[in-house]
Structure 1
């Protein structure tokens, strides 16, 4: 058996449409690659991520393209099969060899294999892949089948099996890519090959790891089929089985006593062990084919039982209930071939750094690469995997049903060896949209994808990967058919909370106690450095020099949300005020994003186990944009990332109301009890105590304890200048009795010193008065700078240390400058100054 990639000698040309540029003949192309990256490399198009260039490339939506190379296949040996394999074509392709059509493709999310043995004669032949306009194809399918509603109607992303967000989203550009975005291979083999290997990995009650290896074999068809032998081994356990001459399937079982368990992050180690499977002939000395993957021994269960609060949605790993601290994941670059393993690993390390234990691969993107799932398994990051259906009604007519079934079957089998993969989900907001977004009248009886969510995908998972749970959609109420409950009911199953952000104040996050919140979020702009590098005002100058940058036409190209900036400002007004100066506006919107999400997560965690998980929208960005992401497209954490780190900490304190009274929740997500002393102090912003109490607390492992607050601590003499501080060991929380806009905050509450370290600097600050949300915006001093800690609220007299990793700075004191060391106090001072200026202007 021999496999080799076809990476050399490819060229690209226009095959139809009206290009807006002069295209040279035979433009060199990279495979894997895309048309956009090839044209960018040649300097023929501007960077679509820069300023307003996205719209300048809309002509590419209507183009056909052709990739060409020369394929010269050495003569085939007797009995040798030769296949041409395309692991991923984006999207509507015709594959031809010397003008002879080999086949057609219509699905970005699956691979294609063509038998080319008859061409294996040593002669060079022209290999051509012609890619038709995805836009034209999708529009033609819509005209053929009748329209279907979607969140971004009339964009026809639901009429083609292509990455939905390729057509744009409320955080992403509309580029509608095309290309050979995964490897192209020649595969030469004899007799038989392993077409599918499905390892079903479980652990029984005695702790024995059980692996059932199910195999589908493809025979070459070039000789009389004979008996085959299948062997598998792992951790010293092995088994073999004979496959009869006319059979193409086999199953064997392995048992590993006292198997080392794989655990999610925060719950234990992540041991991975190589499972090897070999296919051979009974008397053969060399295997015909070999398959190897690292697997982990663990069990996954989803509890959707009914209880006094509604319908649970509780994930258990190895029988241990796990509170899911998650984030939604989108493709990390809109131009997919630029995503490297190293980039993925950096992003997943940032997820771990934010104390996350799960990523949800959202249904409008892609089935991620092997690198992604492998890195998740190595780190203990669970994966919630959507099937790729999002925010739309999808036609069930052919070819869509067979295409979706083919991609689902291929990707279930491809991904199931990874222990990180925890749950399959039938799509994003499709069932909710059908029930709640006035789709039924628009559909007028036409198909919409209900069969996919409720039947077909469930059956595929049950057949191929019964070790993992399946959920029909997100949001979705389990057992809904029997109960007729709303699919987004917070008391039943999964819930998406988008009233906050779209319509109501973030304090309303606490009006519900959802069983599992699988989407919620709040927007904020990217870091200052990213914004400055990629977004300039409409005359080309620095954005900050625009009279009103947040409303500049170029800035709005990088704000895709409907009414996005107005929502940002409405969200600010009641809490931090709306600064007129852009630099302060930028900090205020980032801080408000962080506070809103932290407020929600602390609430959700305080109700464990009634609330069993929170998956924030979203971890990452695919281009420079104002969005819900915690990490921007240049890999720089926003203040939201620090909020996630704090809110998801293994031990955490948070204030909230229970039955109309102030309570303190002590959240212990450690395997050991939390025994300590709780100190509660009502004090002035200057640190002078008003009233204090102490008590011993004992919080059992993996649990939450709620402590009622002494009424004397909830009765400040000066609402605008007193704070309640809770401390347990190294953890603390502050409770304010009014929003920032009503507080008498010291505008300069911190004093700091900078000390040089081997790989950066330590910035130590002390609070002269209450300092809220102290954060270092380190990208402003160096593009490579990072800091692990942020959003530190310090009572008077408290200290905090920030370790900054960066190359040497010419002036380290920059780290203490007002544009770098920020607090919420700054914004209160800005607002008071603004009010004073307005009052003075009125008097004049």
Structure 2
């Protein structure tokens, strides 16, 4: 086979109808090329998003030339292969129209024998305006998207969040966003390779391989070899009359999600071989992790379970929702994905959900999930509103689904195919229309599951998230079956403790917004533009009531901040608190609830959002908290009676009863010790106790009920806090503190932080700190650098030394670190 890689060809682009040609990069998009050439301002800076809307309303053309050698014309097949074009385009080779595109998510293959010339060829791709195409077909589609200010973006099979979302800008781009090449070949080649696993008794695993071949297949055979650690462990050959191969591994090394075991990957190499000459005509390589994955939906005492099991072992899911890593996804590199996915694993996550308003991710993304042990809940790309269901649209979706399922079905990380995001929940009224209901069911209850049965055959399918197994979107039903998106906290401004009212089987969305750190804010906002109600910050807050809701929740728990930095800090520790309350509750009630996916892991641009990792890679307080509340061994405290505000704005303290739970996820049981101490803010221990515990996987365990009523009456609820922890083999593996009144009512002392620093490795500085007083949620920050701390937003107790490591993004000496280091605890946010 001959291949002409057009990514290496000299591309140029211009706005159709005139103008000068400018250099372009392929894969890429119009916005990136315009920015690279200085023709637009950075859309992420200030309010520049509003100034570049003309780009998506315009038509663009991309042109390149390449040489076709004489030898390729002897091949039986000459094709142009475009892995992805965004989105509405006309493709010409030497002014011959090859075809038109209208689906961003499919691979296009055109026969070019009649258009290709010997010598120099000219390829031209005209990218028509998606917005103009929507206007052209808009009257034929009734439902309108609430996230799209123009409306009806759903008529195009295009990344939906390009049109704006409540965390992302409206930047409707276009481009050749995935590789493009000319292929010349003869004989036969792989069209796809379906891999299924059969796990037998003992340690044996058989891979059933079902290759689909294109071309002339009568005189070829398929040869398959399976390698592990560089050693051949199985091989097989299938002739032209055989459609399946079987490779058996006698002593299989199983693949496990992060936190449950290792992630060994076998190398599968398949070749199409000419039987007469022995020539290898095509080669296909895959990496395969040997495992079984089930979605167990079984009757139980609470209704029906919603539980993932890997290799027969039920797994409590700990993770977050994934959105596109950039507003312009073309050109994202492996390292762009690795930063955030590795951060997820460092926070003890074992799953990410690829949300349905973005894209089917790149091979780099799924490679990393395979390597890191991150299960993938994979949405099809439908979100929040109803879609057309005419014959042409369904045909396009079927082609998309077939290609994507065939591309991804072998992945060890793939845990679930999900039809859509929130369509039944947000369109209850529209779905009462018989035509709309029939169209919805045709797509999500027939077409997609049929494609999965044909092209995958193993991975479970779930029609929507959220979904209860029926068109019932009530929270009460969510306590019985299915998965739930719980947004009463935030959108309905319910108290944070509302999470604890509900015992969902699986909570796949919930969240709380916060502001980005000063380091990230400086990438989009001038020093004098940080007022949250000013034009720049409002432009980078896409939820209509977002700023008011953040302030509302802050006011319930904390004092008014003294400055902008204090406001950012309070928004982040508030977000961390909300996520902690939710996740610890859902973990405590396991196995009734068997998973949490908070909204959201990452950002696509610098913004106020629900993310725990900022666009620059900085961990918010919530991500440091996630590493604690997702820890394999967790101690969790619950106040039996919360503090409350009564008529007249009087404060009624919480009761003194506290429940201490443990939750344990690791496979091997261990013994540990619970410790608790009621402390004065000055550091004096007032009451203390211990309990030996045995930890094993299987659910939350109430280990101890404590009663501090007398101590609170004696010392005052606003002058004490409870410190509690879990030790295993003498090491504190989980620890936190609890107040008996809202933190704004606690009389926190202000104290001096003593700091020392030393170099411990290249690019790593250890910072040691201590204080004579209790410092709640101490935050460390290195201005102008997206540095990573080994821990942050933690409690520092009187007289104890804490050591944290700083992984620098740019070289600094320990002396320079101490000179630049900024720190803030809760009391510093208002005093």
Normalising by structure 1, report the TM-score.
0.91
Tell me, in whole angstroms, the C-alpha distance in 2 between the residues paired with 1:306 and 1:149.
37
1:155 deviates by: 2.5
1:542 deviates by: 3.3
Contact preservation (8 Å) 2:145, 2:384: no
1:814 deviates by: 6.1
Local SS of the residue matching 1:288: strand
1:100 deviates by: 1.5
1:603 deviates by: 1.4
Q: Deviations over 1:709-754 (max 9, x none)?
A: 2324785131101112223220322221001111111123643333
Find out whether 1:499 has 2:496 as its counterpart.
no
1:657 deviates by: 4.9
Find out whether 1:397 has 2:390 as its counterpart.
yes
Local SS of the residue matching 2:532: helix
1:809 deviates by: 4.0
Tell me, in whole angstroms, the C-alpha distance in 2 between the residues paired with 1:714 and 1:458.
60
Contact preservation (8 Å) 2:56, 2:174: no
Contact preservation (8 Å) 1:458, 1:470: yes
Find out whether 1:736 has 2:739 as its counterpart.
yes
1:429 deviates by: 0.5
1:794 deviates by: 3.4
Contact preservation (8 Å) 2:417, 2:460: yes
The 5 Å alignment of 1:405-554 reads 405-435=398-428, 438-440=429-431, 445=436, 449-478=440-469, 480=470, 489-502=478-491, 503-536=493-526, 541-544=527-530, 549-554=531-536
1:426 deviates by: 0.6
Match of 1:349 in 2: 342
Contact preservation (8 Å) 1:64, 1:133: yes
Q: 1:316 to 1:285 in 2, by over 3 A?
A: same
Tell me, in whole angstroms, the C-alpha distance in 2 between the residues paired with 1:259 and 1:542.
61
Q: 1:520 to 1:280 in 2, by over 3 A?
A: same
Q: 1:815 to 1:506 in 2, by over 3 A?
A: farther
Local SS of the residue matching 2:725: strand
Q: Deviations over 1:178-227 (max 9, x none)?
A: 0001111111110121111111124223321121111211116xxxx633
Tell me, in whole angstroms, the C-alpha distance in 2 between the residues paired with 1:207 and 1:810.
52
Q: How many residue pairs are counted as aligned between the two chains?
A: 800
Local SS of the residue matching 1:336: coil
759-768 vs 316-325, which moves further: 759-768
Local SS of the residue matching 2:586: helix
Segments of structure 2 that go 5 or more residues without pairing to the other structure are: 228-232, 643-656
1:150 deviates by: 4.4
Q: 1:679 to 1:112 in 2, by over 3 A?
A: same
Local SS of the residue matching 1:589: helix
Tell me, in whole angstroms, the C-alpha distance in 2 between the residues paired with 1:293 and 1:488.
41
1:241 deviates by: 1.7
Find out whether 1:724 has 2:722 as its counterpart.
yes
The 5 Å alignment of 1:303-318 reads 303-318=296-311
Q: Deviations over 1:306-339 (max 9, x none)?
A: 2222221110000111111111111111111231
The 5 Å alignment of 1:212-251 reads 212-219=208-215, 226-235=218-227, 236-244=233-241, 250-251=243-244
1:543 deviates by: 2.9
1:444 deviates by: 7.6
Segments of structure 1 that go 5 or more residues without pairing to the other structure are: 17-22, 834-844
Tell me, in whole angstroms, the C-alpha distance in 2 between the residues paired with 1:321 and 1:119.
56
1:450 deviates by: 3.2
Q: 1:484 to 1:760 in 2, by over 3 A?
A: closer
608-617 vs 124-133, which moves further: 124-133
1:703 deviates by: 4.1
Q: 1:677 to 1:98 in 2, by over 3 A?
A: closer
Contact preservation (8 Å) 2:87, 2:102: yes
Equivalent of residue 42 in structure 1, options 32, 37, 40: 37
Tell me, in whole angstroms, the C-alpha distance in 2 between the residues paired with 1:147 and 1:463.
31
1:766 deviates by: 2.4
Tell me, in whole angstroms, the C-alpha distance in 1 between the residues paired with 2:174 and 2:476.
36
Contact preservation (8 Å) 2:769, 2:802: yes
Q: Deviations over 1:381-411 (max 9, x none)?
A: 1111100001111111132111111111101
1:698 deviates by: 1.3
137-146 vs 612-621, which moves further: 137-146
Match of 2:358 in 1: 365
Contact preservation (8 Å) 1:202, 1:467: no
Match of 1:13 in 2: 14
Equivalent of residue 138 in structure 1, options 103, 109, 134: 134
Normalising by structure 2, report the TM-score.
0.92
Equivalent of residue 798 in structure 1, options 789, 797, 800: 800
The 5 Å alignment of 1:140-155 reads 140-152=136-148, 154-155=150-151
Match of 2:680 in 1: 684
Tell me, in whole angstroms, the C-alpha distance in 1 between the residues paired with 2:351 and 2:126.
39
Match of 2:574 in 1: 592
Match of 1:375 in 2: 368
Match of 1:264 in 2: 257
Contact preservation (8 Å) 2:84, 2:107: yes
1:71 deviates by: 4.0
Tell me, in whole angstroms, the C-alpha distance in 1 between the residues paired with 2:367 and 2:816.
42
Match of 2:653 in 1: none
The 5 Å alignment of 1:550-699 reads 550-657=532-639, 662-699=658-695
Contact preservation (8 Å) 1:477, 1:486: no
Contact preservation (8 Å) 1:814, 1:820: no
Tell me how large the CA RMSD over aligned residues is: 2.3
Match of 2:648 in 1: none
Equivalent of residue 48 in structure 2, options 45, 53, 76: 53
Q: Deviations over 1:18-53 (max 9, x none)?
A: xxxxx7422221111111111111111101111110
1:433 deviates by: 1.5
Q: 1:169 to 1:259 in 2, by over 3 A?
A: same
1:473 deviates by: 0.8
Tell me, in whole angstroms, the C-alpha distance in 2 between the residues paired with 1:159 and 1:119.
32
Match of 1:273 in 2: 266
1:428 deviates by: 0.5
